[in-house]
Structures are given as C-alpha cells and as structure tokens.
Chains A and B, each alone.
Chain A
Amino acid sequence: MSDTTASQGWFTSLANPTRFLALSGRVLPYLAAAAVITSVIGLYMSFTAPEDYQQGITVRIMFIHVPAAWLAMMCYSVMAVASIGTLVWRHPLADVAAKSALPIGAAFTFLSLLTGSLWGRPMWGTWWVWDARLTSVFVLLLMYLGLMALHKAMDDPARAARPAAVLTLVGFINIPIIKFSVDWWNTLHQPASVIRLDGPTIHASMLYPLLVMAIAYTLIFFTLHFMAMRNEIWRRRVAAMRRQAAQSIGGETRP
C-alpha cells in the first residue's frame, strides 16, 4: 500500500460518524482546555497592552472585534469546503460540518458587527454607516441566518444538504468582497493592518495580544464546532431510530 493510499484511507475513515464521535470525544477535552488557557492569556495581554495614543482605551475593543471578524469569515470558508465535500464526494460528515457551523458563524458575525458598532461610536462618531465593509459583513450575517432558515424549513437533512451546499458556495463570493472592500471602495473602515503583503503595520505591543486572541477564538470555534457536530450526528441518529421504530410497528400491524 502506498503512502497516498494509506493517508486517503485514514482521511476517509474519518467520514464514518462513529469514528468521528470516538476521535472527537478524545480530542475535545484538550481542545477546550487549550481554548480556555489561550483566552485567559489573550485577555491578560489585551488588558496590559498600552493604550493607543489617539484612540485611548477603546483600542482594547480591537482585541475582540478583529478576531470575531476573522472567525466570521473563516467559519464561512470551512462551510464552503464542507459544501464541496457534500456536492462532490457526498462525504457523510460534510453536511453535518456545514450545518453545525452555522450558529457559530452567525454568532461571530453578530459580535464583529456589535463590537464594531461599539468601537465606531466613540471613534467615528456614528454607530453605523452603510459603507462597503460594514454592509458586506451585514450581508454575511443575513447569509448565515438564511442558511439556518433553509435547514429549519426542511425536516429531512438529506434533502436540505444539496440546496444548502449550493447556496453556501454561491455566497462564498462575499468573502473576498469583505476582505478587499476596504481596498476597492472608499470606506469609513480602516484598510487591512495585519494581513497585508508588506507585513503588519501595528506595533508589536498590540499585534501580539491580537494574534493570541485570534488563536483563542480559533480554538473556541473548533471546540464549539466539534461539540455541535457531535450533537448533529446524535440528532440524526435519534431521527433514524424513530423512523426505524415506526417502520417496525407499521410492519407488525400490517395484515
């Protein structure tokens, strides 16, 4: 057996929900512990970082606003990859992964909008402006809510999987629009200052807390995502067992 076959075998073995439950059950306590420890370190660094010479203490909102916005986009990217898994390989866990990421992505998008608004009011003098960055993130929130509504509208997850995957992939066009909106259009929102070709433009005293908080948010995301995926597998098992029970009762009563 070649290395490629071996790695494919290992990867496809994860597609088995029972194996995923066993593996995620072992990984989750470590993931959750890492998320808590990194969050505590990140919060300590955020509150001991120097205040900005212009923005004062409000710069501390950056340490929770920026990671929330990054995770809002990363979560959607995870869903887009999972949607390809649903449409191309019909991976058993792909739809479970995409569906269970939805509330988490919606929560991060909501937090990026809310903390952005709470930062914008003292710094820009306004809670909200319909500029390209804010509007495209608001559209992202609507996409999350729309996909959640689509899943709620269909009782059978197998029927919802394909339209939800197509809609997710169509909506992925919004992710580069969000990222580059500050470069393509004249917006009130500042341009990128961390992820840029010529390197970050933030001083290290503020960059390091921001990066630690971003790692913490990523760990929080994967902890919640693994938990939600396990819940979704159990939900589908309960539905399958109820169907099985109903069919066996129907079979017994039939003449």
Chain B
Amino acid sequence: MMSHEDFVFLSYAATAVTLLGLLLLTVADGRARKRELAELEAQGVRRRSQAPGGPRP
C-alpha cells in the first residue's frame, strides 16, 4: 500500500528523470551534429552558400 508521500515522491522523481533525460538527449544530439559538421568541414566540404561564387547566406 503506497502512502501519499510515495505518490508525491514518484511524481517529482518521474518529472526530474523525464526532463533531465530530454535535456541530456538534446545536448548529446547537438554534440553529435557539431562533430559531424566539423568532420565534413575538415574534409573540405562546403555548403553551397559558403562555396566561392555561391549564393550569399
């Protein structure tokens, strides 16, 4: 039998886990995309807007 305190604790814990999990996933996604961009730029790949004579951004 769960006490009222247990219901409150579970609510706050689930909220913390969900929001912190979402934050961590978002940060990890951003780092992975920046790494990919850096790798492509290191290979000399440029976006069309960055290419010489290409459209200005």
A→B interface (CB under 8 Å): 16, 18, 56-58, 60-61, 64-65, 68, 103-104, 107, 110-111, 114-115, 118-119, 121-122, 220, 224, 227-228, 230-231, 234-235, 237-238, 240-242, 244-245
Q: Which residues of A contact B48 (CB under 8 A)?
A: 240, 244
Residue in B34, B37, B45 whose beta carbon sits within 8 Å of that of A245 in the complex: B45
Q: Tell me, in angstroms, the Cα distance from A240 to B55 when the chains sit together.
A: 15
Contact residues of B between 39 and 57, Cβ < 8 Å to A: 40, 43, 45-48, 57
- Known A-B contacts: A57-B8, A111-B14. Give 15 more (CB < 8 A): A56-B4, A60-B12, A61-B7, A61-B8, A61-B11, A107-B19, A111-B15, A118-B7, A119-B7, A119-B11, A122-B7, A220-B19, A228-B26, A234-B30, A241-B45
Residue in A65, A237, A245 whose beta carbon sits within 8 Å of that of B11 in the complex: A65
Chain B binding surface, main DSSP class = helix
Knowing A107-B18, A107-B19, A114-B14, say if A245 contacts B40 (CB, 8 Å).
yes
